[in-house]
Structure 1
Amino acid sequence: MLHSICYASYASVKMLSLILALAAMNQLEPQPRSAVTHKKKKKSRRRKRRRRKKKREEEEEEEEEEEEEEEEEEEEEEEEEEEEEEEVCRVQLRAEQGRSMDGQGWQAEKYKEETRGRSKPEKEERKASGDQPPSYTQQAMEEEVKKGKMMRSRVIGVVEASQLMVDNAVYNTIKRNLKKREVLSPAQLLSLSKLPESTSGAVSRAAEIMETSIQTLKQEPSQFFTDALSADLLGTIANLSGCLPFMLPPRCPDTCLANKYRPITGACNNRLPQKLEPWGVRPIWVALKVREVTRHLIQVSNEAVTEDDQYSDFLTAWGQYIDHDIALTPQSTSTAAFWGGADCQLTCENQNPCFPIQLPSNSSGTTACLPFYRSSAACGTGDQGALFGNLSAANPRQQMNCLTSFLDASTVYGSSPGTEKQLRNWSSSAGLLRVNTRHRDSGRTYLPFASVACAPEPGAPRTTRTPCFLAGDGRASEVPALAAVHTLWLREHNRLAATFKAINAHWIAETSYQEARKVVGALHQIITMRDYIPKILGPDAFRQYVGPYEGYDPTVNPTVSNVFSTAAFRFGHAAVHPLVRRLDTDFQDHSDLPRLQLHDVFFRPWRLIQEGGLDPIVRGLLARSAKLQVQEQLMNEELTEKLFVLSNAGTLDLASLNLQRGRDHGLPGYNEWREFCGLSRLETPAELSRAITNQTVINKIMELYKHADNIDVWMGGLAETFLPGARTGPLFACIIGKQMKALRDGDRFWWENSHVFTDAQRQELEKHSLSRVICDNTGLTRVPVDAFRTGKFPQDFESCEDIPSMNLEAWREMLPQDDKCIFPDKVDNGNFVHCEESGKLVLVYSCLHGYKLQGQEQVTCTQNGWDSEPPVCKDVNECADLTHPPCHPSAKCKNTKGSFQCVCTDPYVLGEDEKTCIGQLRSLHLQQTWQAIKKNMSSE
């Protein structure tokens, strides 16, 4: 800017000098009178021209100044980025300095070096005066101490550099996403649905910092690396990276409610050490490109699919839904490479966390790869495994499960306190969940909206776009069937909670909420284990791997295994139908709602809201068949060629994603898992024919993989012939069966465990079914008895009046009486619930939302009355929370009693979320849109 100003001043001075020179020349020669007059006019015209020219120049200068200001802003942004890069460089420089110092080494004979060159008399004189070289032990100790300090300094430098590297990549990812404002690619859609929530995101970030740090240290000379991985320094790395808190056992509350209601995080379920199963993995890499496997072995056209003559589309939908209840492996917190910052959506190089799917050389299209992000590592595994004493395959790189692993309806309630807080209706006295305030489905509720925008409606302006749905799991908007099942359970919770409150008027909102949550979780367990899993495994495999319930076993590890979530339970992708069928009240194709191809519904919740609501989708799931998994018809092209397609922004391939994810997680091959399950290894084509009856498929497998030991476990398990009465082959039946038994037997809150429900309540729960849930929460009046079996309408459908239901009177509660302890009054802004512990009456206090407990949470009835005074509820100042501020940075937070308020300054107003300040014009547009929607709803 300074250079430009100086240049302008120089030009002005030069022009002025020229003008003065011309004026002087005119004054030197005397002129005639007429010539002088003409000269004056000529000068006047020149002055006018000069003024006009000067005005133009001033306008041009103003434009130049505006451009310069814009350039200055861009330069400032670049300077900020350069400063960040310089900071990384400075930290790396400090680390390099640490390395160079260590490279010089500490000389063991330092004393000899100092005395080298001295004469013998000098040495003897110094020896006589007491100038003795230190003893070997003392010298070694001093050197070890110095070396240890240097190593510690080196490790700290490496961790600091790694932290800046990871955070810089995450920052660039966020910045890139904010700039785009619109969802532009299928990879972004997939990325949004796999992003971890805040708690899991913190774990992912910590693990990535720790992994990057140890990878850097592994590049050191071997002697230094061995020393650097001492227990003390590893503890330092774990602590500085942020991994250490997540590697420690959770602190478990010791209250009677902790035994009555499942914690939202799933922590503290088992109170005894677990017997760990050998679910460990080791990396296996094959030269075969996963896209080649898709094209030659898996893909089939939409028209060539075979329909299942036994099971409905609801079987497939439930499998996907329940998978989302027990497993979510978060991808890296960054979509840019940690080293170099390359955008993973653009690069075809393997640069952590970028792990692109390489396309065959003969592929059509302009790109050489499909984007893919590695899953986040779990703290303390893989290279970090040195924390457990080794870096060997005994503790390989593992991935994190964001969810609780248990069958606990986390799809409805979330797996963290933060998500649960977002989902609850805190103003409800009955413990209800939040619902959509903008749209209704013939008087029934929809899921609330999330802040994330989903795929746009054609032609809709960005301000009126339908956001994604908000549910306990972030993938609720992937397809209409999944959104429909989520919506059913939202409605079921609110139905149960309202009924419980009506039956037990003395219950506080928290009790109604927790009891409804407990019942919904039990129904998820019943429908899955009683109605779904036996159809998948077949009767023989179910008896072999699952068997009858024999009670809770605290030594069983219920954690979801890597091979289950990454391979075996993805068998359901081969049962996804390429069409979405929407039916009318007679269960026929809807005249106003034609069939849709699957790629036309990905992440499009507006179709559910604007095109008929829930009922047509549910009818289609009940009365239309699932796709049958046939060995030469594994996955239709809607999933392999059009996954999450958005206009011309490219697509993804689900089959290749599954195979690549298995390689990312380092899953052993097909034969190793068969051996794990006690099944024979299959080496030759003849041996493979014992598990895969289609010879054409066997020939293609051997042609591609060259040897059976190279077969990816997901590919091999998917190609196996079904067991009798099953929808999986022997390998997947083993892995799924073992996992389901572990989920059941290792769950202290499993519905059949004696302390969870009363005998009367268990009898009522057994009556319930998915068909009953549909009857209670939709407009359907006729349903099949078993929602998973396909049938024809009307002969295979029953009236909802004949579908068994629970009698919720089994949950009526009589307040216990104790002469020694009279029930105290409620505390201000809070209340208590009662339970029993070791035969004693216990009161557990809680505060209303926006207040925190001060005092003892639990009081117990003793011979002398209550053992403690009731606590009090104090107002929480939400505005003081700098970690998770309640308002957007654009708004100012104002604390109120039991709550807070976000305030905007003129000319801005609060947006729909009541947390973000937006311009008045946009607000007016949104209000007009909302008024139009309400007008249309009232006219209907």
Structure 2
Amino acid sequence: MVRMRTLGAMAVMLVVMGTAIFLPFLLRSRDILGGKTMTSHVINVVETSQLLVDNAVYNTMKRNLKKRGVLSPAQLLSFSKLPESTSGAISRAAEIMETSIQVMKREQSQFSTDALSADILATIANLSGCLPFMLPPRCPDTCLANKYRPITGVCNNRDHPRWGASNTALARWLPPVYEDGFSQPRGWNPNFLYHGFPLPPVREVTRHLIQVSNEAVTEDDQYSDFLPVWGQYIDHDIALTPQSTSTAAFWGGVDCQLTCENQNPCFPIQLPSNSSRTTACLPFYRSSAACGTGDQGALFGNLSAANPRQQMNGLTSFLDASTVYGSSPGVEKQLRNWSSSAGLLRVNTLHLDSGRAYLPFASAACAPEPGAPHANRTPCFLAGDGRASEVPALAAVHTLWLREHNRLATAFKAINTHWSANTAYQEARKVVGALHQIITMRDYIPKILGPDAFRQYVGPYEGYNPTVNPTVSNVFSTAAFRFGHATVHPLVRRLNTDFQDHTELPRLQLHDVFFRPWRLIQEGGLDPIVRGLLARPAKLQVQEQLMNEELTERLFVLSNVGTLDLASLNLQRGRDHGLPGYNEWREFCGLSRLETPAELNKAIANRSMVNKIMELYKHADNIDVWLGGLAEKFLPGARTGPLFACIIGKQMKALRDGDRFWWENSHVFTDAQRQELEKHSLPRVICDNTGLTRVPVDAFRIGKFPQDFESCEEIPSMDLRLWRETFPQDDKCVFPEKVDNGNFVHCEESGKLVLVYSCFHGYKLQGQEQVTCTQNGWDSEPPVCKDVNECADLTHPPCHSSAKCKNTKGSFQCVCTDPYVLGEDEKTCIDSGRLPRASWVSIALGALLIGGLASLSWTVICRWTHADKKSTLLITERVTTESGFRKSQESGISPQKAEVQDAEQEPAYGSRVLLCE
């Protein structure tokens, strides 16, 4: 009976303890569970798809949170291709739409896609988030619309407002080739045959046809290392294809880095069985689909090869220096110094380069400096394009243009003191964009195409042509313009003031500088890097030395977490995008198809190379376009063969002729300003923004120091006085003070002075956007800029449902409850894996409660189990006392002494009595 009472009391204690300890976990689980249900099957499918996509994204961010401080090459690649918020939202919406179709296929829905009503289709597009990005934008009708290009590129062509704009689909010059006709990549099914043969694994193509050791590369005897760096920089100005928002499979949530199976968006690069690598594949993530294409076409009753999957360009297609300013209002807001009256860009507040500015830091950390604690890790740089920190040379070019903008804006404000900060910013931006166009089209592209191909495909400028679509094409971005990877040198050379190898800054292999901005800040700044770019040669693209092992074996390599292979990534990306084969593109360019080894040898002029190609591909029509174009022998005076010269030339002509704001267009600059712009050059930009005092006249030509270098005093520069405004200002129309949270620029319309107002990103204009100077003064009061409450948007909430939206001035903040933390998208709350602080308080209070209950329970147990023993003890004590008294009488000891003597002895049951009393 006593034992049963004891066990019962202990059970009560365990229940109390378990409740106190596990209650916080139960409460957290309750937050995760639950969800709305809808009667509509189609809406239910979209919601299910949203859960699948968001869960995959959530798992990706949770894994990245756990790996914080241990970056893998795949993570670095993902970071470099991380889309800004608008691109990310579109990618997510497209993936929800695409997954919706896959859900409908798997469920074998009773609804035929052809029977879906227009209302239901519109609901699906709206619920997925695609609809707002598919509607045509409204183009403003103000004088400002003709003065400065919009940051997103939208409405450059007023008849086709999305041509060339950011976050629109890449152009298709030929229909894509997908294995299922509309979405599945080439090579997705290893048993799928092309002309009777499967496509060779891309890693096999790299190993047998592309890769060469660092020591075996041939250096270019004509062009400097600045040539490939400028190509990379310009590529980042006009194209960025966002990859999937998730690095985990939508179905099942498996991590793409841990699976070698094709599960969308995972499309891993298979490795040969005899590979020395520890894994059977390299991770690869598919590019996001553009809204309403591929599988998504079924939602619009158009599931066919007529509406295949397209990929998105997250940047503006135009040569507009988006590398400096961004391609969205959100990025532009991050880059501008809003407290500057001269329209300056933000600079780094922690470090200087001999008194000159560095790029500001982004929030994300880059690869760590050896031995540096995690808290002291140097972040990546913040620029108009997120890939600025890939290598120090690229970061250096970004930094040059940051400094050039601030130099120009400061000068313009000094010349025109009446200009608003926004006018100074926009004028400097317009000049910087023009210089990007001049350097690229005048100094860079002719060297790549050669004089004959440049005349054939580009030719002289004949003015803006509104029928030309400037949108960057898929084949240009995914294949042709990646020719530059074959010109990347495996070494980073840093030179001293005499343009000799720097004794304190030794040469570095390329893998030692990937995503390491600390090397720029802590190891000499820009000048040693820029000297090396000017005075050391590029790698020459040789047919059997196409890409060095720094790119094929050590891409983004870190200490012990693997590596990637750029050549295989390029080939896999082309297959992911469904690019047709090499011969299809030759035919597109008016070149002959090459069917036999003998015909191939006419274009490649290397029989050994031809034999290796045919051994792998088996059929000439199976050759990947990137490899085929790369293998062709150069045209005279060029650094490409005929196919890539055609594709690059056609694209550059479209970028020029289809751009309403091209610098040579008559309304963009005055004749005098255009003449000044033509004087400027990349060497002049270097002179004005570094410590170099001597430079080559052509930054892309290799030369010897000092004989081939000129003093900066001899390098022509622009006369900025040509930008001075002289028009008189009416006393009745004095320039007003800038409005809070907004600004204005001025222009002329029908001979009258006009102010056009705009609000900062996150604010909405209330009142007249445009005010005009009349005989009686301004025709209306200036507008005001009111904060936009983003949190009030219930249709497309800015934060994930796991987070609480908090409105702030000009923005919003997604807030998580402890122990959740914001993921890398800064919108989703991720479980940090620890108990919340409130739970620790609950546990502490629970422990106190348990202690009290334990004490009370023990007292009760003692009383229940020892009541009879206490009675026995009292009787025993009475008997002992009486016997002791008798003994004392017999021995002659007094009763008091006998009592003391007995008390010193341990009584029967003594230990139990003391615990319970």
User: Which residue of 1 is the match for residue 733 of structure 2?
Assistant: 822
2:470 is equivalent to residue 575 of structure 1:
no
Q: Which amino acid aligns with 2:734?
A: F
User: Which residue of 2 is the match for residue 167 of structure 1?
Assistant: 54
Cα offset, 1:308, TM superposition: 0.3
User: Which residue of 1 is the match for residue 689 of structure 2?
Assistant: 777
2:180 is equivalent to residue 180 of structure 1:
no
2:167 is equivalent to residue 280 of structure 1:
no
Q: CA contact under 8 A between 1:691 and 1:720: conserved in structure 2? A: yes
Aligned positions of 1:636-647 closer than 5 A: 636-647=548-559
Cα offset, 1:158, TM superposition: 1.2
Cα offset, 1:10, TM superposition: 11
User: Which residue of 2 is the match for residue 356 of structure 1?
Assistant: 268
Aligned-partner Cα distance in 2 for 1:714–1:212: 30
Aligned-partner Cα distance in 1 for 2:359–2:142: 33
Q: Which amino acid aligns with 1:268?
A: C
User: Which residue of 1 is the match for residue 834 of structure 2?
Assistant: none
Cα offset, 1:489, TM superposition: 0.4
Question: Residue 450 of structure 1 aligns to a residue in which SS?
Answer: strand
User: Which residue of 1 is the match for residue 99 of structure 2?
Assistant: 212
Q: Which amino acid aligns with 2:332?
A: E
Q: Which amino acid aligns with 1:292?
A: E
Which of the pair is proportionally richer in helix?
A: 1
Aligned-partner Cα distance in 1 for 2:81–2:816: 33
User: Which residue of 2 is the match for residue 372 of structure 1?
Assistant: 284
2:462 is equivalent to residue 550 of structure 1:
yes
Aligned-partner Cα distance in 2 for 1:673–1:791: 37
Cα offset, 1:392, TM superposition: 2.6
User: Which residue of 2 is the match for residue 709 of structure 1?
Assistant: 621
CA 816–161 in structure 1, closer or farther in 2 if over 3 Å, else same? same
Q: CA contact under 8 A between 1:721 and 1:729: conserved in structure 2? A: yes
CA 328–16 in structure 1, closer or farther in 2 if over 3 Å, else same? closer
Aligned-partner Cα distance in 1 for 2:112–2:702: 61
Q: CA contact under 8 A between 1:235 and 1:387: conserved in structure 2? A: no
Q: CA contact under 8 A between 1:406 and 1:747: conserved in structure 2? A: yes
User: Which residue of 2 is the match for residue 632 of structure 1?
Assistant: 544
Aligned positions of 1:91-490 closer than 5 A: 153-219=40-106, 224-228=111-115, 231-273=118-160, 278-283=173-178, 284-285=186-187, 286-386=198-298, 390-490=302-402
Range 224-233 or range 872-881, more displaced: 872-881
Aligned-partner Cα distance in 1 for 2:201–2:143: 55
2:587 is equivalent to residue 587 of structure 1:
no
Question: Residue 746 of structure 2 aligns to a residue in which SS?
Answer: strand
Question: Residue 582 of structure 1 aligns to a residue in which SS?
Answer: coil
Q: CA contact under 8 A between 1:280 and 1:395: conserved in structure 2? A: no
User: Which residue of 2 is the match for residue 35 of structure 1?
Assistant: none
Aligned-partner Cα distance in 2 for 1:229–1:677: 41
Spell out, residue by residue over 1:444-497, the C-alpha distance to the aligned partner (whole angstroms, 9 max, x if none). 110000000100111110110000000000000000110000000000000001
Cα offset, 1:257, TM superposition: 1.1
Question: Residue 520 of structure 1 aligns to a residue in which SS?
Answer: helix
- Normalising by structure 1, report the TM-score: 0.79
Range 169-178 or range 794-803, more displaced: 169-178
CA 77–666 in structure 1, closer or farther in 2 if over 3 Å, else same? farther
CA 465–559 in structure 1, closer or farther in 2 if over 3 Å, else same? same
Cα offset, 1:651, TM superposition: 0.4
Q: Which amino acid aligns with 2:159?
A: L
Cα offset, 1:822, TM superposition: 3.5
Q: Which amino acid aligns with 1:684?
A: T
Q: Which residue of the other structure, out of 601, 606, 615, is the alignment partner of 2:513?
A: 601
Q: CA contact under 8 A between 1:615 and 1:778: conserved in structure 2? A: yes
Aligned-partner Cα distance in 2 for 1:737–1:691: 19
Q: CA contact under 8 A between 1:231 and 1:387: conserved in structure 2? A: no
CA 849–322 in structure 1, closer or farther in 2 if over 3 Å, else same? closer
Q: Which amino acid aligns with 2:251?
A: W
Aligned-partner Cα distance in 2 for 1:855–1:545: 48
- Normalising by structure 2, report the TM-score: 0.81
Task: Determine which structure has greater relative contact order: mean sequence separation of CA pairs < 8 Å that are 6+ residues apart, divided by chain length.
Answer: 2
Cα offset, 1:890, TM superposition: 11
User: Which residue of 1 is the match for residue 842 of structure 2?
Assistant: none
Range 839-848 or range 433-442, more displaced: 839-848
Range 363-372 or range 484-493, more displaced: 363-372
Aligned-partner Cα distance in 1 for 2:20–2:536: 63
CA 793–822 in structure 1, closer or farther in 2 if over 3 Å, else same? same
Q: CA contact under 8 A between 2:479 and 2:626: conserved in structure 1? A: yes
Aligned-partner Cα distance in 2 for 1:265–1:825: 28
Range 409-418 or range 863-872, more displaced: 863-872
User: Which residue of 2 is the match for residue 691 of structure 1?
Assistant: 603
Aligned-partner Cα distance in 2 for 1:182–1:253: 46
Aligned-partner Cα distance in 2 for 1:469–1:10: 73
Question: Residue 691 of structure 1 aligns to a residue in which SS?
Answer: helix
Cα offset, 1:889, TM superposition: 8.5
CA 169–327 in structure 1, closer or farther in 2 if over 3 Å, else same? same
Cα offset, 1:184, TM superposition: 2.5
Question: Residue 222 of structure 2 aligns to a residue in which SS?
Answer: strand
CA 768–67 in structure 1, closer or farther in 2 if over 3 Å, else same? farther
Aligned-partner Cα distance in 2 for 1:297–1:314: 26
Aligned-partner Cα distance in 2 for 1:198–1:790: 41
Spell out, residue by residue over 1:857-893, the C-alpha distance to the aligned partner (whole angstroms, 9 max, x if none). 10234577644343345577899899669xx999998
Cα offset, 1:360, TM superposition: 1.0
CA 423–12 in structure 1, closer or farther in 2 if over 3 Å, else same? farther
Aligned positions of 1:805-820 closer than 5 A: 805-817=717-729
Q: Which residue of the other structure, out of 648, 651, 655, is the alignment partner of 1:736?
A: 648
Aligned-partner Cα distance in 1 for 2:736–2:551: 60
Spell out, residue by residue over 1:120-177, the C-alpha distance to the aligned partner (whole angstroms, 9 max, x if none). xxxxxxxxxxxxxxxxxxxxxxxxxxxxxxxxx3222211111111111111112222
Aligned-partner Cα distance in 2 for 1:890–1:781: 55
> What is the Cα-based RMSD across aligned positions, in Å?
3.4
Q: CA contact under 8 A between 1:827 and 1:871: conserved in structure 2? A: no
User: Which residue of 2 is the match for residue 757 of structure 1?
Assistant: 669
Cα offset, 1:852, TM superposition: 5.3
Aligned-partner Cα distance in 1 for 2:778–2:140: 21
User: Which residue of 2 is the match for residue 859 of structure 1?
Assistant: 771
Aligned residues: 791
Q: CA contact under 8 A between 1:374 and 1:664: conserved in structure 2? A: yes
Q: CA contact under 8 A between 2:791 and 2:805: conserved in structure 1? A: no
Q: CA contact under 8 A between 2:320 and 2:434: conserved in structure 1? A: yes
Aligned-partner Cα distance in 2 for 1:815–1:562: 46
CA 892–218 in structure 1, closer or farther in 2 if over 3 Å, else same? closer
Spell out, residue by residue over 1:408-428, the C-alpha distance to the aligned partner (whole angstroms, 9 max, x if none). 001001111111101111111
Q: CA contact under 8 A between 1:332 and 1:353: conserved in structure 2? A: yes
Spell out, residue by residue over 1:275-298, the C-alpha distance to the aligned partner (whole angstroms, 9 max, x if none). 986343222434311000000000
Question: Residue 836 of structure 1 aligns to a residue in which SS?
Answer: strand
User: Which residue of 2 is the match for residue 110 of structure 1?
Assistant: none
Cα offset, 1:393, TM superposition: 2.3
Runs of at least 5 residues in structure 1 that lack an aligned partner in the other structure: 1-8, 18-53, 99-152, 906-914, 916-940
CA 239–461 in structure 1, closer or farther in 2 if over 3 Å, else same? same
Question: Residue 604 of structure 2 aligns to a residue in which SS?
Answer: coil
Q: CA contact under 8 A between 1:272 and 1:555: conserved in structure 2? A: no
Aligned-partner Cα distance in 1 for 2:90–2:760: 30
